[in-house]
Amino acid sequence: MAADAPPALYIERAAPIAQDVMRASGIPASVILAQSALESNYGRSELAREARNYTGFRVGDPAWAATDPYWDGSSYGSGWRKYATVRACYFDFARNFYRGGLYRDALAMLPDPVAFVLAEAPVYAPPSENVDYSQRVLSILSEHALTRYDLPPAQLALDPSIVPAQYRAA
């Protein structure tokens, strides 16, 4: 995306991908869009343009690359993940919520994107690092009416390689 592209263009291009990710993961498309818009300045950041990293994920433990179907271990700059596609970045973002139990409380809020953001944002961007992160995400979600992209539960087909069994139970 060009550095001067309008936010609406980012959302228009990213929404179908976010919906595909929601279909497979249950993570609301609205949350994927809002957080990626914030983290990447609507796809205009250097990290998004050069590394297709729209979520601000750092490399972290190199061993993760061996078990991560969406990230091949490539990096950009000083320790940022580099993705082959925006789709891979979004799927990695969604998959992250199910790893390690850090987001257990947020996952209980999945049907409500606002409650989900309020529960996950303090873990994703601790207040000591970013005091108003959740409010910034919620502002983008509201300003662009992003919940219109969320799919009804009947359209979800949760992928067992992303979503553990305890979160797939009806």
Measured CA to CA, the distance from residue 134 to residue 103 in angstroms comes to: 14
Flag whether 31 is in a domain.
Answer: yes
Q: Residue with structure tokens 């990290």?
A: 47
Q: Which of 25-34, 108-117, 127-136, 145-154 has the lowest mean pLDDT?
A: 127-136
Domain hosting 67: range is 7-163
| DSSP-based three-state secondary structure for 109 | coil
The verdict on residue 113 lying in a domain is: yes
What is the total count of domains within the chain?
Answer: 1
Question: Is 115 within 8 Å of 82 (Cβ atoms)?
Answer: no
Question: Each residue of 57-87: pLDDT tens digit?
Answer: 998 877 777 788 999 889 999 899 999 999 9
The enclosing H or E element of 23 equals: helix 7-25
